Structure 1
């Protein structure tokens, strides 16, 4: 490894930053205009790994088509934000729980139906597993005879590898209720807590960019959970993504986002959930005027 890797590299110049930002947004849709430090850190991390100290030379390498395709995917993996935790937004998960209690009512739902959930930008899996835990608890509570399927997508292959393994250090379980910890985790010899097979088999982790709509799950969803994802996209892309989510919800389905992520979005089939603590919408059976 080059000796420069142990030194603090010079920060990106404004011209270099604009060049990298444009390339990343063009290819992934992710906008780093408000996240310069994340872009800088990701670049430095990957460049250190391969012993390159020249931002411009590295730019030429990764932007080359098709020669730079593999290195490009590795760079995107380093830059992708992976900060997450189990049950990260208590109010949002409370809303999901209340939604599922109504959704699984035997008088309102066919007993042979499926319960489909999509975790968008699932990172290392904590969010997706949290959704699966809540769904499984509500199915057990209501005794509904439904199949639970959680589709979890992310752009980072490294994060997905970690998620598929389903093994977490003890500090990662700080927000997990004791009952859930006992029910859904097993402590093994590697001093990590592993998701039990019965829950893990309900999840499918897959790599993809949500801007590539053809790669989005084709099945209709009961819940689409997309928190702290849209903040990395330009506002002009928000409507495109939200409209796509709306089209992939079943009638009566729930769309959950992070508080403050979206303003002034309207869709003829979506109605804002009456909960001041959560930014969420319900897919109505008929056209509605959003609140």
Structure 2
């Protein structure tokens, strides 16, 4: 996990074994060492995907760390004009989990244009190492308990209730600009100097120090000059960040 994905579970060995124990028993595997050997021989990546799904934390919700969205709307979006932007406004949610962050951004940006704000054609890319998380993001069906996190005005415009109000999804306007794929953040980035905005929040807290440095370099390369990076509020970036300009807590600019 650490060498390939940068995720440091060395201090959580007992938790890792507990999370994997039921799956190991199903596979007839008696130890983590045996599991790792079998995973290396598994060309289908089935065991690797299972491990990622069990060991990574996909906790998220709509409007998480809402001050980020307030800052985006009040301070960044108003600076966009036809003469200083390209034909697209591209956003990357790096570590998108089950899609709530991407769809929050989509609702915010669509609502901004409905209120008369200028925005180029919107493209949102969500990536996650977990196959199950990406599948959930693509399906975009959520339990009703998550509806409370969405502002009432957005609920009226963008939410569609399902199966007797037990679940909900979002209208095509919100879904269609969001694309998802499975990706290792330490692998090939979706594009070089392609993104206007990157959200990589509450991801680096699971990474080893060397992996964090590699990831920061990946994010820097993926941003357009002048683009913004949002990280989690607990992720203070005390790194060689002369390359990034500090804007305010958890917000940086290339």
TM-score, scaled to structure 2: 0.89
Is contact 2:192–2:221 with CA below 8 Å preserved after alignment?
Answer: no
1:62 lines up with 2:39 in the alignment? yes
Shift of 1:36: 3.6
How much is the aligned-residue C-alpha RMSD, in angstroms? 2.2
> Which residue of structure 1 lines up, in the alignment, with residue 64 of structure 2?
88
> Which residue of structure 2 lines up, in the alignment, with residue 29 of structure 1?
6
Aligned equivalents of 1:100 and 1:134: distance in 2? 13
User: Which of 179, 190, 204 is the aligned partner of 1:230?
Assistant: 204
Could you report, residue by residue, the CA deviation over 1:52-78 in whole angstroms, capped at 9, with x for unpaired residues? 444443333223x34573222222222
Shift of 1:271: 1.0
Aligned equivalents of 2:20 and 2:244: distance in 1? 39
Could you report, residue by residue, the CA deviation over 1:154-189 in whole angstroms, capped at 9, with x for unpaired residues? 011111111101111111122111111122110022
Where structure 2 has 5 or more consecutive residues not aligned to the other structure, the ranges are none
Is contact 1:45–1:78 with CA below 8 Å preserved after alignment?
Answer: no
Is contact 1:42–1:78 with CA below 8 Å preserved after alignment?
Answer: yes
1:162 lines up with 2:133 in the alignment? no
Shift of 1:230: 0.5
Where structure 1 has 5 or more consecutive residues not aligned to the other structure, the ranges are 1-23, 284-291
Determine which structure has more spread, i.e. the larger CA radius of gyration.
Answer: 1
Matches within 5 A, 1:138-157: 138-144=112-118, 146-157=120-131
Shift of 1:262: 3.3
Is contact 2:202–2:234 with CA below 8 Å preserved after alignment?
Answer: no
The count of residues paired between Structure 1 and Structure 2 equals 253
Could you report, residue by residue, the CA deviation over 1:104-162 in whole angstroms, capped at 9, with x for unpaired residues? 345x534x621110001001111111111112222222342511100000011111111
Shift of 1:267: 3.5
> Which residue of structure 1 lines up, in the alignment, with residue 169 of structure 2?
194
1:280 lines up with 2:251 in the alignment? yes
Aligned equivalents of 2:29 and 2:152: distance in 1? 47
